[in-house]
Structure formats: C-alpha cells, structure tokens
C-alpha cells in the first residue's frame, strides 16, 4: 500500500513538472539572471579588470579553461556584462590565438542557448528581459534587407548590443543554422582584436596598443550613434 502511495505521489509530481515545464524553466532562467546580476554589480570592478579575471581563472588550475568558457557563456546569456573585457582577458591569459578560439567557442555556446531560449519561449519572455524600445529598434533593422546579411552586419559593427540581439534573433525569421553562421562570422574580427589587445598589454608596444584602443573606442561610439544609418547605407548599396 505504501509503495502504491509513493508511486502515485511520484507520478503526481512528474505530472506537475510536465504541466509546468515552461514556467519552471523560465523561473530558473530568471533566478540565474538575478544571481549573475547581483554578483556582477557587487563585484563590478572585478569584471572590468582583466588582471582580476586572470587571477580568478588561474586559481582553478587545469580547470581554468572551463571556467573561462563559463565566463563567456554567462556574459552572453546575462547580456548586461561587458563581453569585450572578458575577450581582452582571454588574450591576456591565453595569448591571441587560443584566447580568440576560447572566446569564440564560449560565445557560440552562449549565443546558441540565448537563441534556443528565445525561440522556444517567444516574445512574452523577450518583453520581460529587453526593453520595448530595443525590441522595436531591432525588429525594424532586421527587416531592412536580407536577414542573414543584416545579422552579419549587426554583429560586425561595434557599439550594437550584440548579446541582446541574440534574443531578438530567436523570435525573428532567421533560422538557427544561419544565425549560428552569420553571427559567428560577424563576431570574429572584434574577438581577435580584443584578444590581440589583451595578449600585448604587457608587451611594451604602447603606441600600437594606444592606437588600437583609441580606434576601438571611436568605432564603438560611431556604432552607438550611427549604427542604424551605417546598416541602412550598406544595405542600399
């Protein structure tokens, strides 16, 4: 009798989980975002300091690579964390080539998770985590031309919030395969430049680093201010 009652309770619990699977996943997702947000804002100086990130990652010894990948995945999912600093830290810790590869792998995994969550749970979820203004902005831009090329341009141009864009793409017309290909291709130049910058922080090439830094900041500001106009002009041509 007891076994029967236990089985009934387990079946009942399974049914509850099955019926509320979407709500449970969403709840876990929001708990993750809140936790990461709290840790980020509590330790904001750590996440903006490549030295501190290096110290944290190397403290895990041979598991440091996995920790770095997790950093990259989390910064994509929790898109308010500045990814450029972690990419610079990747070059600083692992040098340009390996740092770039690890960043690409982590970002691709994070982007795939973001696209998948958005695609499965749709616009109601996106409207809870991204402002209506930003959704409207990307909806308009993604319809300016052939969507694969538009996505590539948006990921290529600095200054555009690329990780928030991943959530928007999940509810757009672009397929996962094309999102995977064109978003990755668009990200690669920026990732390599960030890793190179990080790898040469202590190399003594100050004029070159200053030049890269100033150029990157200038391109970022141009992307923020003129990003939409640049995309429109390229698409018209």
Identify whether 150 is part of a domain: yes
Instruction: Check whether 41 has a pLDDT greater than 60.
Output: no
Identify whether 223 is part of a domain: yes
| Domains identified in the chain, total number | 1
State which residues form the domain around 219.
52-236
Q: Are 169 and 237 in contact (CB under 8 A)?
A: no
Identify whether 19 is part of a domain: no
Identify whether 200 is part of a domain: yes
Cα distance between residue 171 and residue 120, in whole Å: 9
Predicted confidence at residue 2, as pLDDT, reads 47
Percent of the chain with pLDDT over 70: 62
- In 3D space, the residue among 112, 79, 106, 83 whose CA is nearest the CA of residue 194 turns out to be 83
Instruction: Check whether 52 has a pLDDT greater than 60.
Output: yes
Percent of the chain with pLDDT over 90: 13
The larger pLDDT score, comparing residue 224 to residue 125, is at: 125
Identify whether 36 is part of a domain: no
Mean pLDDT, rounded, for 197-216: 65
Token pair, residue 62, equals: 């041979």
Predicted confidence at residue 179, as pLDDT, reads 93
Report pTM: 0.73
Burial status of residue 162 (CB atoms within 10 A of its CB: 0-12, 13-18, 19 or more): buried
Identify whether 35 is part of a domain: no
Q: Are 104 and 187 in contact (CB under 8 A)?
A: yes
Cα distance between residue 87 and residue 90, in whole Å: 5
Predicted confidence at residue 182, as pLDDT, reads 93
Instruction: Check whether 87 has a pLDDT greater than 80.
Output: yes
Per-residue pLDDT band at 206 (split at 50, 70, 90): low
Identify whether 74 is part of a domain: yes
């Amino acid at each position: 009798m007891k076994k029967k009652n236990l089985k009934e309770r387990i079946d009942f619990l399974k049914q509850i989980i099955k019926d509320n699977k979407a709500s449970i996943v969403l709840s876990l997702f929001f708990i993750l975002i809140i936790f990461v947000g709290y840790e980020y804002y509590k330790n904001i100086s750590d996440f903006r300091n490549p030295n501190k990130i290096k110290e944290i990652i190397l403290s895990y010894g041979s598991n440091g690579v996995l920790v770095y990948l997790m950093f990259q995945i989390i910064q994509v999912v929790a898109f308010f964390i500045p990814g450029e600093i972690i990419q610079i830290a990747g070059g600083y810790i692992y040098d340009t080539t390996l740092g770039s590869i690890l960043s690409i792998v982590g970002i691709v995994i994070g982007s795939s998770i973001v696209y998948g969550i958005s695609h499965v749970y749709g616009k109601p979820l996106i409207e809870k985590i991204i402002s209506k203004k930003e959704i409207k902005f990307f909806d308009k831009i993604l319809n300016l031309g052939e969507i694969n090329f538009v996505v590539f341009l948006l990921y290529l141009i600095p200054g555009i919030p690329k990780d928030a864009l991943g959530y928007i793409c999940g509810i757009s017309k672009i397929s996962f395969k094309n999102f995977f290909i064109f978003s990755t291709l668009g990200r690669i130049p920026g990732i390599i430049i960030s890793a190179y910058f990080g790898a040469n922080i202590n190399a003594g090439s100050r004029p070159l680093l200053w030049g890269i830094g100033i150029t990157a900041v200038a391109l970022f500001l141009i992307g923020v201010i003129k990003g939409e106009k640049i995309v429109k002009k390229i698409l018209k041509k």
